[in-house]
Structure 1
Amino acid sequence: MNNNYYCIIMAGGMGRRFWPYSRKELPKQFLDFFGTGETLLRITFDRCKGLINPENIYVTTYINYKDIVKNILPEIDDKQIIIEEERRNTAPSLAYASHLIQKINPDATIVVMPSDQIILNIDNFRSAITKGLNFASTSGKLINVGIKPTRPETGYGYIQIEEEDKEGDFCRVKTFIEKPALEFAKVFVEGNEFYWNSGIFIWHVTTIMNAFHENMTEVCPRLECETPDFSACPNISIDYSIMEKADNVYVQMCDFGWADVGTWQSLYDASPKDINHNVILNSNSLLYDCKENIVLMPKGKLVVAEGLEGYLIAEHDNVLLICKKDDQNSIRKFVNDVEMKFGDEYV
């Protein structure tokens, strides 16, 4: 393994779109969704340590989750856990993490990895990421890993490539498209110039720090210090702050069986289904005349349902949720309404 290669795993989110299973005190990245005995964070770390030296893998997370990360990944040192004292989305978090890595190794090339993704073909994944690290280490490009669409998915962001500006598996970005309407997603999946935005990034540490200094000038002094001031930083993603502004962004065109476990619908899409296209996650159930539902119940609980189509049935701790599985805006509304009416007890 190349000692100049590093990984940042992002594990600081609250996972509200997976409520009520994902809660403020224990969000989705620290949960075992598939009944395998391994959390999403553990799976992500093990996937990365096959191509990055474990001591070069860092985890960014919210301050309240430090002990949880340490419990899930006991082999990592405290210095590999990068703490966000205030939640300010991915841009400030990655700016601070990149600054720390640059101080350790100014020759570092970094892959940034969300902690909530499914990768089906690990060999293809590791081969692709190694190729991306090799390219980013010398090219001066910011790499966004793109996945060839397999269906007209409206829950993912898309990247349009400049087909005439291509270097092997790498193409210059033409534009980013946020979660499109279905009619546009159908057009995108049929063409050759659109890729899903995986949220996986690869860059040399100098390249990304230059991009931060150019596009987030006011933020850098607040983070490039011994005690970062996250509270003074804007709440903004790396996509909006850097990737959509920089002129040296390339897509790496990949295919390694990728899925984002960002919503109940995406978890449904990525999970095995029964003959009626129901997804039963580690739960006891009897379903009659039911199809295209997703069920997740606590151990020892049984759900019996009849006549449901396209529903989510999820119980965790003190909350039972039954709603349409593909309406993510409603789930956000439910969480906000519960928080306003009952406080933090149920969120």
Structure 2
Amino acid sequence: MKNNFYAVIMAGGVGSRFWPVSTQKFPKQFHDMLGTGQSLIQRTFERINELVPTSNILIATNENYEKLVLQQIPQLSSKQLLLEPVMRNTAPCILYAALKIYQQNPDAVILVAPSDHWIKDEGEFLRNIQTSFEACAKDDILMTLGIQPDHPNTGYGYIQYESTNSEIKKVKNFTEKPDLKTAESFLASGDYLWNAGIFVWSAKSILKAFKEFLPDMVNVLDDGNNVYNSDFEDDFIKSNYKNCENISIDFGIMERANNVHVLPVDFGWNDLGTWGSLYGKLKKDENENAVVGANVIFRDAKGNMIRTENGKRVVIQGLEDFIVVEKKDIIMICPRKDDQDIKEIMSEAGDYFGKKFV
């Protein structure tokens, strides 16, 4: 059975809200963001590798990050990298992966997971994936994992499900990033989950869905000549990938298909999308200050997050609820409540300091 288990780790993003640490040349998934001694993608690979054989794990990333992936995960061969020549959101690279995997094994069931999430209970996560694999091997369903929400977050998508006694629920609908009032009503109703962007399906089921909902994309990436897993694959992708529609799997398929199901899960999850979300997962001192890398003296300071190059000596006095990040020749200081603005700050810094700094 395990030979039919496959995984695609999505590692193509830039993580601009983690500037100045995350940059175009060296995005956040390749950094040790939590100070654990492992980058986010290394931890994600090891976690999934507990269930999925090494040879069945693919990494979807931008062609610029090929060397970074192979340096950080030397167990992989270059044939296991899906190199995107241009960014086209999640649907095209998921189709690319599904065509490649189906050509290898028509009975494959596939986990699609981001490279940069934090998961507390990895054993529970693997049990949930095993449950999902077994369900998708048996039935023609498209599955997503739904996180039990603990606050009305407006940065996540929400999944409403049908209340039944079965462990896996049928999805009623998806709602992308609601406003605060809507998010509060979702929490109160009790039948909504956060969309974690972690999917499971069989190769057959997802290809069938692409043919139904995104047939033009199938025509672009499937020319019927069995180019996948051959010497022609790289050239074919370089020539054709740019012609795919720029669309997410959520908008392209999950919000339109009627065989979407969700497994409500509770394994301690965070998408690590901002410095503020990272702060939430770090150890704090008695004044709620968190530190990665630095050697800090805090004086009359609380609720701060400090991240510097290893061993940098820092003194913080009179600061409350701020993010202080240092990287080589850049220092960024920003209120924690404004961490969503860092994407704009990065863009402004690129214009002002020069593109090499972003």
TM-score (norm 1): 0.94
| Aligned equivalents of 1:317, 1:117: Cα separation in 2 | 25
What's 2:274 paired with?
Answer: 263
**Does 2:320 match 1:309?**
yes
- 1:201 counterpart residue number: 199
Structure 2 residue aligned with 1:278: 289
Measured after TM superposition, the shift of residue 318 of structure 1 is 2.4
- Partner Cα distance (1:308, 1:154) in 2: 27
* Structure 2 residue aligned with 1:289: 300
Post-superposition Cα deviations, 1:240-272, rounded to whole Å, max 9, x if no partner, equal 111111111111111111111111121112222
Number of equivalences: 345
> Normalised by the size of structure 2, how large is the TM-score?
0.92
CA contact 1:87–1:230 (8 Å) conserved in 2: no
The offset of 1:167, in angstroms, is: 6.3
CA shift at 1:181, angstroms? 3.1
| 1:43 shift after superposition | 0.4
Deviation of the 1:120 alpha carbon? 1.0
- The 1:262–1:75 alpha-carbon spacing in structure 2 relative to 1, beyond 3 Å, is same
Specify the alignment match of 2:182 in structure 1.
184
Deviations 1:164-196 (A, max 9, x none): xx4622111122222333343334334420111
Cα distance in 1 between the residues matched to 2:341 and 2:245: 26
Please report how far the alpha carbon of residue 315 of structure 1 lies from its aligned counterpart in structure 2 after TM superposition.
Answer: 1.1
The CA deviation at 1:328 is 4.0
Measured at CA, do residues 36 and 158 of structure 1 come closer, stay the same or move farther in structure 2, by a change above 3 Å? same
Specify the code of the residue in structure 2 equivalent to 1:81: L
Aligned to 1:169: 167
Q: Which residue of 2 aligns with 1:11?
A: 11
Structure 1 partner of 2:69? 69
RMSD: 1.6
1:232 to 236, 240, 243: 243
1:62-116 alpha-carbon deviations (Å, 9 max, x no partner):
1011111111111112211111111111111111111100111111100111001
- AA at the equivalent of 1:299: N
Tell me how far apart the structure 2 counterparts of residues 52 and 285 of structure 1 sit (CA, whole Å).
41
Alignment-derived partner of residue 27 in structure 2: 27
Aligned to 2:233: none
Instruction: Describe the shift of the 1:302–1:187 C-alpha distance in structure 2 as closer, same or farther (beyond 3 A).
Output: farther
The aligned runs of 1:85-164 (5 Å cut-off) are 85-163=85-163
Contact 2:152 2:184 in 1 (8 A): yes
**Deviation, structure 1 residue 144:** 0.9
- Using the aligned pairs only, state the percent identity: 40
Distance 1:179 1:295 in 2: 29
SS across alignment from 1:3: helix
Specify the code of the residue in structure 2 equivalent to 1:64.
Answer: N
**Structure 2 residue 352 is the aligned partner of structure 1 residue 341:** yes
Check the 8 A contact 1:34/1:282 in 2, yes or no.
no
Q: Distance in 2 between matches of 1:279 and 1:261?
A: 15
Q: Which ranges in structure 1 are unaligned for 5 or more consecutive residues?
A: none
Q: Secondary structure at the match of 1:82?
A: strand
Which ranges in structure 2 are unaligned for 5 or more consecutive residues?
228-235
1:234 maps to a residue whose letter is E
Query: Could you tell me which amino acid in structure 2 is paired with residue 202 of structure 1?
Result: V
* Cα distance, 1:290 vs structure 2: 2.2
Q: Residue 79 of structure 1 aligns with which residue?
A: 79
Paired residue secondary structure (2:351) = helix
Deviations 1:281-319 (A, max 9, x none): 232222222222211111232222223222111111222
**SS of equivalent residue, structure 1 residue 219:** helix
